[in-house]
Structure 1
């Protein structure tokens, strides 16, 4: 069993928005990547690592380190796309740093995603990165003759929908409020945006509780379906919709039952004339006592 291991934690979704190269424009989506280093052995280890970020990923600095081994942070080198080296990806590496016995170190830094792939070492110069395209990250840790490798992937988005709720639990007769965030990337206009919310049987929409009046509300197979026409979103715009739901007073399923609010949305990317579907969900735990 390897004593020294490495892993990458990347966001599930990355909304496109990395600014124009060499500009001061603030990206519309800044995300955090974490690389974890572990040494489960009883002795210190001298290690080296390298990590290749996905094509289109821009490194935005802001390094931080949680853990005992400060030498790791001091030895970090970042190589961005460079014609002399012939690389299209951002590469982060460090050589000959020490991992303490029984230690865990977590390296964090910020990234954003360009709209187009990097080709010929020129950032944001290639084909457009498609909506929902996988962006892959790789890393390798070398300790003597041992090599540990890992990977992670994120999904690139022109448009994204997220849902939040005031509560995690709900009792019969109680109400809670959902917030749906519709977000566009930095580069494109999203038009004909619509949202559909499907509430599990037992959850009901509270009339006149929404800041945007639904187009229609109806029952289907015991579930409540709510539909909104959101309209057009400009680049880097976020539109928030809040609405209340109630758990029926006569709901009598056992405590711990999970009821889900399942949402899906779609829009048209105005520059590419392609659809950009997005989906998410939120589960409420029923508490009967």
Structure 2
């Protein structure tokens, strides 16, 4: 069943949202209290059905923003509504309409089997036994969790646990799913499974997605719109294509070659970054707006046998720095 929500309404509205942390000086110290502005008069909206990447360097204010959106932290100033509700005053009602996954924190019961955690969470959200069975079966199939459903959470691999965490957050079919670094530490296959699942959830249920990540692969494959935050302020709001045009973000194709090869300096659409091991490994940077990894690989393969390859995405911190250079 497709229960996609209308895109005419705003799921998140923040106006002048601010959070200041104040630290106490050590006893006996004459120093004044420290003051750190984590989020600085932030204005943002997220429409129903959007998939938004909220990116920035470490300590940029991403997690602090999310905690204010769901009522964990009290804003120092400004206003915010999430799913039309006040996150603090209506936190219990909000919990029924929002799912949240923090990559470094678990909402599952560590010593219980995954299935029992789902049963408890279903009861908390007011699902009937029939609804819980139906939804659990759907999520287990889509996320391929059948083989470890009876396994205690503490015995799961990181990839297995993150799939279970996402399933738990979606058990009650929330209209908004907030993911804070959901793929951190995951291997390539686990990332791919999770990304495919999230795309399917948006397609089938119209789920609104707000994603913070350091992985540009997540941004490219999951997000329609990009918000870049730095020092608590919004530095960019637009599409991935617009971001790439602003910063000239490039990928690197890393190729392992069968024989030592002179620097590949004239491959169309690329810039040779460096060679390693006497030319057995070479790095070629390219702009994904102008060419593709497949074309670059084909051009290299015409000259020399390629044994292995990988693609490295631009670093989030580098992207943020380039945005500020481009907009100043």
| TM-score (structure 2 length as normaliser) | 0.28
Scaled by the length of structure 1, the TM-score of the pair is: 0.31
Instruction: Name the structure where strand makes up a greater proportion of residues.
Output: 1
